[in-house]
């Protein structure tokens, strides 16, 4: 029986579950299949999924996530791979679905700790090679280039690569053939009928698997709350043409450095209006160079000019492609917005296009950049004001449920979305005929077990969920460090230093008190004079024959000053006593 969801169009018919799939007759207890998401569920970013059967582990993707403002100073966030390190001997390989950072960005950190061969499409592996060479890992990593329609055996798994349309060329979904049946992981996809590269999602391949029987579908839910179908990439070209036609000064376009199709569109439109193109941002330069060498981007000789030479061109003959569409503080666009970029300044009359939508959590950063650009006199074009300036790489609700109709899975596993997306997906799936026990809701680290009859979350692997990368340190920034950073950011720090006679405890010098981020220095004289008296009282209470640890004295000083500053200022600065024994 086929049920139609009231909220889904006629094109996206929801199949009743268990239509086709049945477990093989010879299933035994040893044939249990486990799926363990180490990232990419109930969040957007750091995608990594573990498939485990018997003594074999297959990984799909190895991505990172950019930190929110609450993770002060953290550069990137990667999955916790403790479970993988404990089971290194089982790992047979890593399959990469496409070249976005949230799917490949954690590879240098992961491959520095464990070895695994890689499989991915040509452009994906090109990006991976550049990333691993930077870390000195490429030569020691086994890699394989695959194409859509190809099937490879990795351990006891057979993996078929299926062409999907996304915002980057060479994106692939995977059909993973296990002992219990076929699991399809869509990765990021949309059903764009007219993609720029002429390679739409291979719906016939998904339908073929659906007719044969699919055990489970791990489905992209990023845009499941959006009713209108995602627009085709080709709709952007006339929008860009209109903006370029009306622009009197330079045109600056910010987009993801890996959005190769969008980059090609911008360059082509710039050429049609006689504009030279300059690149801002190291990753933008590297990706365009690689994509051109591999034939994914083409443009006339002479179109590209060095960023430092754009002042030699008339403003109406210049286009700048830049990173920073997500408001990243150190990106090229953010530095332009604060007039701190060394090679380009934004002038009144310039047009700045943000061809993207903010990733959840980045909204404040993006709007801060937009406000700063407007303050400099730029005309800023962004998705809130001009929705047609960006199209998503993810399918809307109708496209998600058309994928379900094609594959007819017995079980649904929502992925690549936050809790609100998972909730919306579940609500619509149940309207379409799926029961609650046939929609498997998981979190990072959950163990989903398929046992021949049912599928359920049976526990979780030891995992912190995320590992923070700060500078060259991987995992050395934890909650305690972040709590201290938040404390310093919110309340400031007070440093108390004094020198004591090691034998008698007599104060030789000090106490000297200084602060940062607490109160204005002009307002501290009386406050700090009284604070010094408190410190001296604490020192005076030390017995003459004191032989204990000075850490105890520091704790007493810290406690007394915390109480004093709270009473006097209603603030709790971090108090750091420094005792020098002479």
Residue 156 CB burial class (10 angstroms; 0-12, 13-18, ≥19): middle
Segment (H or E) for 421: helix 419-431
Terminus-to-terminus CA distance in the chain, angstroms? 87
Check 21, 209, 390, 394 and give the catalytic one: 394
- Residue 31 CB-half CA count within 13 A: 13
The question of whether 394 is a catalytic residue gets the answer yes
- Compute the half-sphere exposure of residue 385: CA atoms within 13 Å on the CB side of its CA: 11
Taking residue 300's Cβ as centre, other Cβ atoms within 10 Å add up to 8
Residues 6+ apart with CB under 8 A from 243: 251, 351, 353, 381, 389
Report d(CA 464, CA 127) in Å as an integer: 28
Residue 220 annotated as catalytic: yes
d(CA 59, CA 33): 13
Query: 368-385: string of b/e by CB count within 10 Å (b at 16+)?
Result: ebbebbeebebbbbbbee
Q: Residues 220, 350, 398, 470: which is the catalytic one?
A: 220
How many C-alpha atoms does 397 have within 13 Å on its Cβ side? 21
Beta strands 409-415; 379-381: pairing state: unpaired
Torsion sign (Cα): 334, 339, 343, 349 = positive
SS (H, E, C) 448-511: EEECCCCEEEEEECCCCCCEEEECCEECCCCHHHHHHHHHHHHHCEEEEEEEECCCCCCEEEEE
By residue count, the chain amounts to 582
Cα separations in angstroms, 403 against 185, 224, 506:
11, 12, 78
Q: What is the DSSP string of 425-447?
A: HHHHHHHTT--GGGB----TTEE
Active site residues: 220, 394
């Amino acid at each position: 029986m086929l049920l139609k969801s009231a909220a889904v169009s006629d094109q996206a018919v929801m199949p009743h579950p268990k239509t086709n799939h049945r477990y093989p007759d010879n299933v035994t207890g040893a044939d249990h299949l486990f799926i363990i998401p180490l990232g990419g569920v109930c969040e957007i970013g750091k995608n990594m999924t573990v498939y485990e059967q018997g003594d074999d582990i297959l990984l799909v993707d190895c991505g990172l996530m950019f930190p929110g403002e609450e993770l002060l100073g953290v550069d990137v966030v990667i999955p916790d791979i403790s479970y993988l390190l404990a089971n290194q001997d089982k790992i047979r390989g890593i399959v990469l679905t496409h070249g976005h950072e949230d799917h490949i960005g954690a590879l240098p950190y992961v491959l520095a700790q464990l070895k695994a061969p890689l499989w991915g499409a040509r452009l994906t592996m090109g990006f991976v090679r550049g990333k691993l060479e930077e870390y000195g890992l490429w030569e020691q990593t086994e890699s394989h280039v695959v194409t859509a329609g190809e099937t490879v055996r990795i351990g006891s798994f057979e993996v078929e690569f299926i062409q999907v349309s996304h915002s980057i060329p060479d994106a692939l979904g995977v059909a993973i053939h296990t002992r219990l049946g076929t699991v399809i992981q869509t990765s990021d996809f949309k059903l764009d009928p007219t993609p720029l590269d002429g390679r739409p999602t291979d719906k016939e391949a998904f339908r073929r698997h659906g007719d044969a029987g699919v055990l489970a579908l791990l489905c992209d839910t990023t845009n499941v709350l959006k009713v209108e179908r995602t627009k085709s990439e080709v709709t952007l070209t006339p929008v860009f043409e209109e903006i370029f036609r009306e622009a009197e000064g330079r045109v600056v376009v910010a987009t993801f450095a890996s959005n190769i199709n969008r980059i090609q569109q911008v360059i082509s439109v710039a050429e049609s209006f006689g504009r030279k193109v300059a690149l801002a941002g190291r990753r933008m330069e590297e990706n365009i160079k690689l994509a051109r060498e591999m034939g994914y981007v083409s443009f006339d000789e002479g179109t590209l000019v060095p960023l430092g030479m754009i002042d030699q061109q008339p403003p109406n003959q210049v286009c700048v492609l830049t990173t920073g569409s997500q408001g990243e503080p150190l990106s090229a666009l953010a530095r332009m917005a604060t007039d701190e970029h060394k090679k380009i300044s934004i002038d009144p009359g310039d047009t700045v296009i943000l061809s993207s939508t903010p990733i959840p959590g980045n909204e404040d950063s993006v709007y801060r950049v937009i406000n700063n650009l407007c303050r400099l006199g730029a005309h800023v074009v962004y998705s809130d004001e001009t929705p047609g300036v960006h199209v998503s790489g993810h399918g809307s609700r109708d496209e998600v449920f058309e994928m379900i109709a094609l594959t007819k899975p017995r079980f649904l596993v929502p992925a690549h979305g936050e809790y609100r997306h998972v909730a919306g997906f579940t609500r619509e799936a149940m309207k379409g005929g799926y029961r609650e026990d046939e929609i498997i809701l998981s979190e990072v680290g959950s163990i989903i077990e398929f046992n021949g009859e049912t599928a359920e979350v049976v526990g979780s692997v030891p995992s912190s969920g995320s590992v923070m990368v700060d500078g060259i340190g991987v995992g050395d920034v934890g909650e305690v460090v972040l709590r201290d950073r938040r404390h310093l950011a919110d309340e400031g720090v007070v440093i108390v230093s004094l020198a004591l006679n090691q034998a008698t405890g007599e104060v030789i010098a000090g106490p000297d008190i200084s602060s940062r981020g607490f109160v204005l220095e002009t307002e501290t004289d009386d406050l700090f004079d009284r604070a010094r008296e408190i410190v001296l009282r604490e020192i005076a209470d030390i017995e003459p024959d004191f032989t204990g640890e000075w850490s105890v004295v520091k704790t007493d000083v810290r406690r007394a000053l915390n109480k004093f500053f709270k009473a006097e200022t209603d603030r709790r600065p971090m108090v750091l006593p420094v005792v020098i024994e002479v």
